[in-house]
Amino acid sequence: MGGYAKYTHDYSFHQRSFFGTGYTGYNGSSANANTVASAVKNVVLWGSNVLSTVNSSAYSEIRSVEMMKQRGGKVWFIGPEFVDTGVTLADTWYQMKPYTDTALILGMLYHAIDTTFDADGNKKTGGLLDVDYIDTMVYGFFDSPEYWIETNYTKGTDTAVGTDINENAGKIYIDQTTAKSEIDKWDKETGPFTIGRNTYPYRWKNKADTSLYVYQEPIVKVNAVPAGRSLSAYIMGSDARLTKAAYSGNYVADQFASKQAKRNGSICSYISSAGNTTKYKTKKDFLKPKNTKWASDITGIPEQAIKDLAELYFNQDNHPIYSEWCGAQQKQANGVINMFALQALLILSKSWGQTGDGLGRAFGGARSNAAGTLNVSISRPDVPSSPATPVISCTQWHNAIKFAFKEQLTANGYSAKYIPDWDYRNSESGVYYEDGGAKALYTWDREADGTIKTNADGYYKWKTGKDGKPLKAGFRFILNSGGNIPMNQHMDPNDAREMFEALDLGSTQPDNPDTFCMVSFDNFLSPSPRWSDYVLPAATTWEQEDIISISLGNSLYIPVVSNAPGQAKSQWNFTNDLLKAVGKLKGVGNELATKFTGGIPNQQIEDLVKDAFGKASVNPQSLYHGKTWEDFINNPYAPKTASEYAPVTVTKTTLRENLDNYLAGNMSQAFISGIKTNEKTGYGAQWLQSTIDLCPKASGRFHVYSDSLVYCYEHRFEQWHGYLASKGQATGQANKDFENDPLVYPIPLYYAYEDYFNEAYGVMNGKNTLDMSKGYLLTTTHDRYRAHSSQSENPYLRELTHRIKGGALYSGNDWNEYGNIGAVQEVKAGETANLARLNQTISNGQPIAGKENVASWSEVWMNNQDAAAEGIADGQLITIGNPIGDVRVIARVTDRVVRGFIGLHQGCWYDPDPVDGIDDGGCANTLMAQRPSRVDHGNGQQSAMVWIKNK
C-alpha cells in the first residue's frame, strides 16, 4: 500500500523496554520456577502482581515459593496495595507510598555507606559495601577523574574480525600524555567497512604490525564523574565523610589516587538555578542526606525496615535473591528512574553472576517445546520493505495528529484545556512536550529507491509546499485493529475526545489528505471505535482460524468453531479484501491481495496448515507421522516435553568466578570485566556524525552514573530536525524543566512526585493552585477479573467489578443494559455530543428512576482510616478528580491499601456524562495527565493525584 508509520515500545512496558539494561550493563539472570524452588533464598516483590497478570505463571510461582519456604526462604512484598500476589506469597508487606521506590533504594544505599565509612571517611570493619568490588566493577558510585582505558577489542585483519582478545584490556592511563602516546600507535581509517553482516564506520590499523586491524576503538577516554556529581555524593548530600575517604587498596583506586586523592571531590554539587526560591522539592533535597529517616518520611516505611532491606541485599549470605519488578513500578512518571535505581541497587549489592541472583517479571514453569511440530510459513518475496521514517514512541500518536492538523484544530476550537501545562495557542509546532518523535514527522525528499536525501550539513532533507514551509506528514490515517488505545488506553481521554471532535470528519471526504480518518476493526464497540470515522465488525477468536502462541508451549492452530455473524470478518480476510479494494483503485487488480496470501489467490490459513501437515504426516521424525487431518484437528496440541522438577545447583558465571578470585587476591593488576553498556542507544538515535563521535564512551564497568543517558536524550531525533536547524532553532530534545534546570540527570536521583503533579496540573506555569495536603495518590493495577479493557462489557465480569450505590461487594448487575446501544450509530458532523452513553441506567450522576438496584459503578479501594476521616462509608458513591478529569466511583473501604492512597483498577471504558462531563465509566486514564514519563517519553499511566470532590 506504500508503507506505514513506525513506532517503538508499547503501552505495557514502555519504560522497561526503553531502559533495558544497556545504560547500566546489569547482567543478573532471570529465573524460572525450578530455580526459585531449589536455589533462590529470598524473593523481593517490587509491587508484583503476576498471579493476576501472568496467568500461565501463577501455579508454578505459587508452588515454587512454597518449596523455597520449605528450605527457609522468605518473600517480601513492597507496594501501596496488598494485591493478590502479595497476599498469596509474601511473609512481609512493606507498606510503601506509590512513586517512592527510588527514595527507598537511596535510603538503603545510605545505610550501606553509613555502615562502611565513619564520619572521618575511614572504613569501618564489617561494613555492608564491598568497596574494592565497587572500585573494580562500578563506574559513578564515587567521583572519579577522567582516564583512558584499553578496550576489550578483538584482533582482526583488513578482511575479518578475529577472536583473540586484547591482553591489556582494562589497563588505565590516568594522564593524557601517556594515553596519547598509546593512541598514536594506531591509524584510524574512515569507512564504512563491511565485514560479514556487520558494517563499521571506522577501523584502526596498528602501526607496528600493519596486518593487525581492530574494529572497535582500541583506547577510549572515559569521562570524569565531576566533583559532587556521583551517586554517592548525591546520597550523602551535605554529609562530607566521603570527601575525606581515600582512594586506595586496589588497581583502579590506586590509579585514580594519583590524580584525585579522595573518593568524592566535594559534597553534593547538584544545584537549582533558582536557589532557595525553587518550586521543586526535588532540588530542595539535593543537599539533604538521603538517610533512612529521609526515606521513611517519603515512603512511609519505618526506618528499621529500610535498614533490614539494605542488610538483606548487601549480606551475601542471603543470596541468591530474586527481585521481581512489576508493570506499575515502571509505568510511572519516573518509571525509567525506578528501573535505573533498582539496577543500581542490584549492581552495588552484587545481585548478579550466580544462579537465581537477578531481576525479572515472573518466574514461570519450564517451557514445553516439542520437537517435530508443524512448521507453518508463508512466502511473500515480492513485498517491498516500508520506506524509512522516524520511529516514534507509540505514546505519541495523538501528538502526531496534532502536528499534522494544528491549523485545522485551532480553527475548529480545540483548546487543549485538559493539558494544563501546555500553552497550545502559542505552540508553533502543535506538538506537546519535547518530543518523542512527533516533530520529526515531515514529508521527506527521497531518492527513487526510497532512500531519504541528506543536505550538506548531514540532516535529512524535507519537502516544502507552495508557501515554502515544510510539508508536515504527522498521522493522517489510523487503522485501529482490535485496539482501544486512541480513546481509552491513552492518557487523558477528555483531551482525545476534544481533539477528535475538532477534526474535520474524514468519513465525509475520504480522499482528502487534509482530513484525518480513523477506521476501527473490532468486535467490541469500545470507546475508540465510538470516536472513529468507520467501524468494521471483526470476527471473535472462535469465529476465525488462526495460529496462536501458547505461553510456555508450542504454537497452536485454531480452526473456526462458530461462523461469524453478519459482515464480521477474520483479520486474514479483512486484509485480503482491503488489498483487493486498494488494487482496484491503483489499477493492479488483485495483485496486492495475491502477494499477501502467498502468491495463491484467496489462500487461507487452513491451506497453509494443511500443506505443512501433509509434509509432516509422511515424515518419520514428525509427531504427526501417519496421522490424518481429522486426527490433527481433533487433537492439535503438541505432547508435553518439559522435564520433571529437578533441583538446580547454584553456579557462578565465569565473570563472577574470576571477579571473586581477583578480589581475594592483591588486586594490583587491571581486571578485565567485559561489561558492555550502550553508548548511542534508544529510539530516535539518528544523529549527525559529529554528535556520534562525541558520545560518552563506555567504561567497561557497570554504570550507576550514565552521562550517555543524558547525551542520548538531548540528541534524540537530531538528524530529522534539519528544518529547525535552518531556522537557528535547537535540534534534538530540550533538557529543561520549568526553571531551565535539567529534566534528566545522569544518576537515579529521587524526583519528588509532588513536582510531577505541579508540572502536569499547571501549577508551575501559574494556571492552577492545588492543596496537595488533601490529595490522594492513585495508581491503577489489574484486578483478578479482567485483562485491560477487553472484557469491560462482559456481563458476568461486571458483576464482580462493579457495585450499585450503597450496595455490597459484587452487587453490580447492569448486564442487561450496559453497552446496549444498538449495532448501528451514525453521528453527523457537530453531533458527537449526542453519542449514546454506554451506561443507560445513569443520568446526571445518579441512577435513573426504577434502576436503583441495577445502575452500577466501578469501585475504588480506600484505606479504612482515610475513609473514616473523610466520613466515607463502604459502598458510598463519590467523585474523585484533578485538573485532568473526574470520575464517579463506589468506595471500597479496606486495610489492603496504605493511607493517602486510592486504587482504581484498570480496564473500565470511558463514559462521560453528557451533562457534567464526569466519567461514570470509571476509566482510570480519565485521571492521567498527558505529560510523558521522564527520559523515554512513555506513558506515565500509574501517576495521578486526586481529590475527593463529592461524597
**Is the confidence at residue 543, as pLDDT, over 60?**
yes
At residue 788, the pLDDT reads: 76
* 538 phi, psi to nearest 5 deg: -110, 145
Question: β-strand 147-150 against 219-222: which pairing, if any?
Answer: antiparallel
Q: What is the pLDDT of residues 612-625, one digit of tens each?
A: 999 999 999 888 88
Q: Which amino acid is at 480?
A: N
Contact 400, 474 (CB under 8 A): yes
- To the nearest whole number, what is the mean pLDDT of the chain? 92
What pairs with residue 323 in β-bridges? 44, 359
Task: Over range 318-334, report the average pLDDT.
Answer: 94
At 681, the pLDDT band (50, 70, 90 cuts) reads confident
How many whole angstroms from its chain centre is CA 151? 31
What pairs with residue 44 in β-bridges? 76, 323
At residue 831, the pLDDT reads: 47
Specify the CATH class of 776-816+834-950 in words. Answer: mainly beta
Residue among 551, 549, 548, 783 nearest 60 (CA): 551
Q: Give the number of C-alpha atoms closer than 13 A to the C-alpha of residue 880, restricted to the C-beta side.
A: 35
**Is the confidence at residue 255, as pLDDT, over 90?**
yes
Fold classification of 475-549+555-603 is Rossmann fold (3.40.50)
At 785, the pLDDT band (50, 70, 90 cuts) reads confident
Q: What angle, rounded to 10 degrees, do the helices at 303-314 and 335-348 form? A: 60
The residues spanned by each domain of the chain are: 475-549+555-603, 776-816+834-950
**Is the confidence at residue 763, as pLDDT, over 80?**
yes
**Is the confidence at residue 184, as pLDDT, over 60?**
yes
Contact 33, 364 (CB under 8 A): yes
At residue 369, the pLDDT reads: 65
Inter-CA distances, 486 with 496, 781, 893, 934, Å: 7, 20, 33, 22
At residue 4, the pLDDT reads: 85
475-549+555-603 and 776-816+834-950 have identical folds: no
- Rounded CA separation 920/637 (Å): 44
Q: Which amino acid is at 330?
A: Q
Q: By mean pLDDT, which of 33-37, 261-265, 835-839, 847-851 is the weakest?
A: 835-839
Task: Over range 600-605, report the average pLDDT.
Answer: 96
* 275 phi, psi to nearest 5 deg: 65, -140
Q: What is the pLDDT of residues 77-115, one digit of tens each?
A: 999 999 999 999 999 999 999 999 999 999 999 999 999
Question: β-strand 846-847 against 877-881: which pairing, if any?
Answer: unpaired
At residue 674, the pLDDT reads: 84
Q: What is the pLDDT of residues 367-401, one digit of tens each?
A: 666 677 788 889 888 888 888 899 999 999 999 99
Peptide linkage before 435 cis (omega within 30 of 0):
yes
CA gyration radius, the chain: 30
**Is the confidence at residue 492, as pLDDT, over 90?**
yes
Three-state secondary structure string covering 866-883 = HHHHHCCCCCCEEEEECC
**Is the confidence at residue 1, as pLDDT, over 80?**
no
- Rounded CA separation 857/841 (Å): 10
- Give the DSSP per-residue string, 225-293: B-TT-SHHHHHHTT--GGGS-B--SSHHHHHHHTT--BS-SSS-----TTGGG-S-HHHHTTTS---HH
Q: What is the pLDDT of residues 800-849, one digit of tens each?
A: 889 999 999 999 888 788 887 654 555 555 444 556 789 989 999 999 99
**Is the confidence at residue 885, as pLDDT, over 80?**
yes
Q: In what order do the strands lie in the sheet with 517-522?
A: 477-481, 517-522, 534-537
What pairs with residue 477 in β-bridges? 517
Q: By mean pLDDT, which of 106-120, 360-374, 683-697 is the weakest?
A: 360-374
**Is the confidence at residue 341, as pLDDT, over 70?**
yes
At 603, the pLDDT band (50, 70, 90 cuts) reads very high
At residue 911, the pLDDT reads: 95
At residue 386, the pLDDT reads: 83
